[in-house]
Structure 1
């Protein structure tokens, strides 16, 4: 029997395994995927959001706790547990030295991500390099790792963890950390959660999954059935508008189209439906998946002209190009007359200003609904480009309710030896909305807390008393 069992193989699970091992516990990590797909959604990430009161190597200026909290409060609309959110924020200030000791390297933000140079620390080599560094460190420290081991159930006794089951095998441990992700790859669950809309459509049938195919929510469902306290809305998720040609699973970050704030978005009826210039892209990019999900056919079209080229990260698939707007409407199969009227109304409403995509500039529309509040330039310089976009689900926010100790709760009472981290509890901090890099911040903070607490819970009683 090991001291600590960690279920999951992404950032949160690895942080928990490393912290528990550093605390002297024997650790076994069970990853559902084969080795080549290890790392869950973390392999698709790029950075984590960090509080800092002064410049720190790759981070410029300062990003104090209060500003981080206000950013989080704004994107969630207040749907967050302030105590746990501030805990995550404070943890983000001190985790990078520890990450470096485990082989993670950081780099300054690249062109196209400059809005984040003050707030987010980028991983050199991206999330895949971070995951590989953690696995190397875990193996060097003696953490046992089992791949192709999806856990399908837990044995619990009065809220206490006893064992986990996988493919007929039983894994006992003195304590356990659950970090097996949300249910975003479970298309049937997504379908049930989103239901049918007033047009008779099942929106989830048109969703793409940006992240791993292995997050089926099996363990989350098992915990819900076992009476664990739950938090969050099953339809809330990190949901981004991504290229409609992206694969069903594992498209990752390169399927994103970051041109929305530089152009206009129309639905398949050729009509605009939201303010494209509401706020900086890193704070707003994760609202567009949900907005598109509400449109007919769950599809939207990002329309730009040649003035936007070079001002956003080029996506992996080229857009549909045309020398005129009527030609673009036909190429995208949009109703030509409505589309041209939408663009003409938008162009006429644009007020002259000083365009600057690095600030909330004064280029806006007037007398237009919905407005475009910033970066509103007429779309009038050919060639024109259009991207068809669908909702891309990264991770779901339905999860297990927890507290500052990362304990799973049953009827309000914390489990003495079962803890949770990462996507399985992110809904405590993210009731809705998103701001770039905060998912990795939550996973890192709560992974480290859960690992420390699990190691402590696994100690013989007399040693635990000595710690207390």
Structure 2
């Protein structure tokens, strides 16, 4: 199931209550949310088609045996916009595999695609290694859904520089961009920037690969985040977390040694979905700094300065509350409460890459494009083409939306082509 087994939800348009989704989330609001995070770097036609089609995906997914549940506690502001999978990503993938098997689909495991041979505007054959044996297929139609290149650290380093060596990969170690590179080398049209990716702040104790959703840290809005010099470097309360969590991977990547530390007090420890690893704990800020390997005097000065800038007001953890600092740089514009109630807690943050945005250019039918026109029997879905819509930034659950919408389109296009 690639990275899908690590997902929790998908973002879905709806003009009224739909299943577990409350109220409305229309095309205009959804698209405006996308524009904010991408800063306009999106294909408007593809983006709006994806958003509109997401509404019909909800009942279709239920027909395939996928079940939904309301948003989980600790996931901020998602009850109206995102449908959560009952049983998580593994249950989602298992349901889709069961449906495929019931339809007679032959699924090959331990299979590695090595080469798609392009002949003009056709894919003439596919070479693969299956259970250690080389195989050659002459397919009538092909759907490329093999993800980005994030698990190839050397490729990441060519795009990002030496800092990439410190990145952690949240998902499968097998998404090394083999099919992507193979097709780009054959002058299939590309889209997206190799330096852009969906990267979040994850627990620094996570494994190099495959840590998944349980290593993500959602404590930032209620924290003071400092770098190795014990200095704050960005507004932790800029916006609701689903619209900002995806910028923190890049922010941490820009800091010394690609590491930062989120510090909270006992009042905030239960306000977010925790990491699978317990937080570092101490009765004093100095004790916490010592455990983190930070200059304790510098950390105390940063926390004291932040606390002095906090203002009176009502703290509302599930919405923008305007509870901002004054006279502090950078300002914290929401959820700014003093860090004063022991015990104090901390998490080490590192950049966790989910997927890269360099991909194959597709049209509104998911058909892959080249300078000479469409590749007649090749379609793409998921991370391998997501850069067509995500130029930068990310919205919670939107990768799953892209994969679902374009997976259906690609399957339909391939099936109609071979009839």
Identify whether the pair has TM-score above 0.5, normalized to the shorter chain.
yes
Residue in 2 that maps onto 1:409: 369
* Kept in 2: contact 1:59–1:108 (CA 8 A): yes
Residue in 1 that maps onto 2:32: 70
Q: Secondary structure at the match of 1:343?
A: helix
Residue in 1 that maps onto 2:158: 192
Residue in 1 that maps onto 2:295: 335
| Runs of 4+ off more than 4 Å | none
Map 1:118-133 to 2 at 5 A. 118-133=80-95
Q: Secondary structure at the match of 2:151?
A: coil
Q: Secondary structure at the match of 2:111?
A: coil
In the TM superposition, residue 412 of structure 1 has moved relative to its aligned partner by: 5.6
Name the CA distance, whole Å, in 2 between partners of 1:412 and 1:172. Answer: 22
Map 1:23-422 to 2 at 5 A. 39-113=1-75, 115-167=77-129, 168-195=134-161, 202-411=162-371, 413-422=373-382
1:178-198 deviation digits (Å, cap 9, x = unpaired): 000001111111111111xxx
* Kept in 2: contact 1:243–1:387 (CA 8 A): yes
1:140-173 deviation digits (Å, cap 9, x = unpaired): 1011111111101111111211111012211111
Name the CA distance, whole Å, in 2 between partners of 1:263 and 1:345. Answer: 14
* Kept in 1: contact 2:77–2:319 (CA 8 A): no
Q: Secondary structure at the match of 2:221?
A: helix
Name the CA distance, whole Å, in 1 between partners of 2:269 and 2:303. Answer: 18
In the TM superposition, residue 361 of structure 1 has moved relative to its aligned partner by: 0.3
Aligned residues: 415
Name the CA distance, whole Å, in 1 between partners of 2:66 and 2:335. Answer: 36
Name the CA distance, whole Å, in 1 between partners of 2:372 and 2:145. Answer: 20
Q: 1:442 aligns with which of 383, 402, 407?
A: 402
Q: Secondary structure at the match of 1:364?
A: coil
Name the CA distance, whole Å, in 2 between partners of 1:40 and 1:374. Answer: 36
In the TM superposition, residue 272 of structure 1 has moved relative to its aligned partner by: 0.6
Q: TM-score, normalized by length of structure 1?
A: 0.87
Distance 1:333 1:177, change over 3 A: same
In the TM superposition, residue 114 of structure 1 has moved relative to its aligned partner by: 5.0
* Kept in 1: contact 2:76–2:242 (CA 8 A): no
Name the CA distance, whole Å, in 2 between partners of 1:76 and 1:411. Answer: 26
Name the CA distance, whole Å, in 2 between partners of 1:243 and 1:111. Answer: 20
Name the CA distance, whole Å, in 2 between partners of 1:257 and 1:189. Answer: 26
In the TM superposition, residue 207 of structure 1 has moved relative to its aligned partner by: 0.7
In the TM superposition, residue 113 of structure 1 has moved relative to its aligned partner by: 2.2
In the TM superposition, residue 385 of structure 1 has moved relative to its aligned partner by: 0.6
Name the CA distance, whole Å, in 2 between partners of 1:353 and 1:165. Answer: 63
Name the CA distance, whole Å, in 2 between partners of 1:69 and 1:132. Answer: 31
Q: Secondary structure at the match of 1:55?
A: coil
Residue in 2 that maps onto 1:198: none
RMSD of aligned alpha carbons:
0.9
Q: Secondary structure at the match of 2:226?
A: strand
Q: TM-score, normalized by length of structure 2?
A: 0.98
Name the CA distance, whole Å, in 2 between partners of 1:386 and 1:239. Answer: 20
Name the CA distance, whole Å, in 1 between partners of 2:124 and 2:102. Answer: 27
